[in-house]
Amino acid sequence: MASSNALPIVLLAEQFAKLPGIGMKTAQRLAYFVTSMPEDEVVAFSEALLNARRNIKLCSVCQNLTDREVCPVCEDNSRDKSIICVVEGPKDVTAIERTGEYKGSYHVLHGLISPIDGVTPDKLKIKELIARIQADSSIKEVIMATNPTVEGDATAMYISRLLKPVGIKVTRLAFGLPVGGILEYADEVTLFRALENRNEI
Amino acid sequence: MASSNALPIVLLAEQFAKLPGIGMKTAQRLAYFVTSMPEDEVVAFSEALLNARRNIKLCSVCQNLTDREVCPVCEDNSRDKSIICVVEGPKDVTAIERTGEYKGSYHVLHGLISPIDGVTPDKLKIKELIARIQADSSIKEVIMATNPTVEGDATAMYISRLLKPVGIKVTRLAFGLPVGGILEYADEVTLFRALENRNEI
């Protein structure tokens, strides 16, 4: 860094540059922006950073990120606890919640099985899922809502095999054409899956 | 926000979303990333934010952002104080310092004259520039290094007119083809300026 740079700005830019998808140029721009923000907003930002890191734990039931012992979804009695939707990460819970249609509970794996990246099943929250199902006989269905990728499919397959002997219904999200998508531009695997899973109208 | 979201993460995402160029999706991604960072790094980030905002002031000489009374460039006796390079903002100082070629001093205007945006000359650090030149008879040249835009040209013109009576040499950055650029793709104004400012080889 050039000697003319004010030290605190350079330090802040370096912190921003540690975040994913933020390069040094953007980090500098953000750091300059912070110096022009009202001081109370910067204080709020600074506290939000610490709070998000310090007050975050995993829900003891579904393993989603939360600031309490049990997350709001698991605590909500109006939700159907007999269905568990298994997802890769907390962002997927947010995405499914956004549809407003799903009224069951969740289980967050915090990753997908990927031996090439060193992610073996024991590194995911799979044992917590099994323990949860074994402890609660009211659970009827497990929906595998992992991504339609090699890792997502493998993880779904692995968990479904573990759950078969327990006698639980395991389902997978439907794959097909995205709504509003154009058939001509769909990739062949998606199109094949859409054909395979065709429904009577 | 969905009720399933842990509160501290949502709050942090909202803070990130206040930054320029960061939308809600990116802000959420960054907030989730922060929860997975080592705690000491988050503490460092949080402190860097506060320090950048609180310990930043304007150099009493050149008006650049700094954490001291006089910035390192103005304090550096090896720099040529008889030349002042006038720029729009602190980022421009960083850019020029990066060339490693310029050994004079700077003056940061903190904006460009733009009546349409309500930026009149009195809102910029122009009076500080004039006072600086009047107080120091050793200053020989002022380089106008504002952007080659309408506002940049207007600001350069305005300041050069103010300085003419003082008998100071006022220069402007050269405009022409960018090094490594392709003539065919240069816009007509740049090409015209490159022709106009042609040099003997």
pLDDT in tens, B43-70: 999 999 999 888 888 999 999 988 889 9
Identify from A25, A32, A33, A53 which residue to disrupt to test chain B contact, counting B C-beta atoms within 10 A and taking the largest count: A53
End-to-end Cα separation, chain A, in angstroms: 64
B46/A46 CB distance under 8 A: yes
In chain B, whose CA is at the least distance from the CA of A103? B4
A49/B106 CB distance under 8 A: no
Q: Is the predicted pLDDT of residue B163 greater than 70, yes or no?
A: yes
Identify from B45, B51, B61, B69 which residue to disrupt to test chain A contact, counting A C-beta atoms within 10 A and taking the largest count: B45
B4/A47 CB distance under 8 A: no
Give the one of B19, B44, B94 whose C-beta lies nearest to A30's C-beta: B19
**φ and ψ of B144, to 5 deg:** -85, 105
Q: Is the predicted pLDDT of residue B140 greater than 60, yes or no?
A: yes
B64/A19 CB distance under 8 A: no
Q: What percent of chain B has pLDDT over 90?
A: 54
- Residues of B within 8 A of A98 (CB-CB) are 2
Distances (CA, A) of B104 to A4, B79, B145: 12, 5, 13
Closest CA to A61 of A3, A136, A148: A136
- In the block, which residue shows the tokens 């860094």? A1
Which tokens is A90 given? 């907390």
Give the one of A4, A28, A65 whose C-beta lies nearest to B97's C-beta: A4
Cα–Cα distance measured from residue B187 to residue B195, given in angstroms and rounded to the nearest whole number: 12
Compute the average pLDDT of residues B181-186.
77
Mean pLDDT over the full length of chain A: 88
Asked if this assembly's ipTM is beyond 0.95, the reply is: no
Q: Are A125 and A63 in contact (CB under 8 A)?
A: yes
Give the pLDDT band (50/70/90) at residue B6.
Answer: very low
pTM here is 0.68
Give the pLDDT band (50/70/90) at residue B176.
Answer: confident
- Residues of A within 8 A of B46 (CB-CB) are 46-47, 49-50
Cα–Cα distance measured from residue A115 to residue A109, given in angstroms and rounded to the nearest whole number: 15
Q: Are A156 and A87 in contact (CB under 8 A)?
A: no
pLDDT the model gives residue A2: 41
Give the one of B14, B90, B106 whose C-beta lies nearest to A32's C-beta: B90
B70 touches chain A (CB under 8 A): no
Identify from B30, B37, B49, B60 which residue to disrupt to test chain A contact, counting A C-beta atoms within 10 A and taking the largest count: B49
A49-106: per-residue pLDDT in tens? 999 888 888 999 999 988 889 999 999 999 999 999 999 998 889 888 888 888 999 9
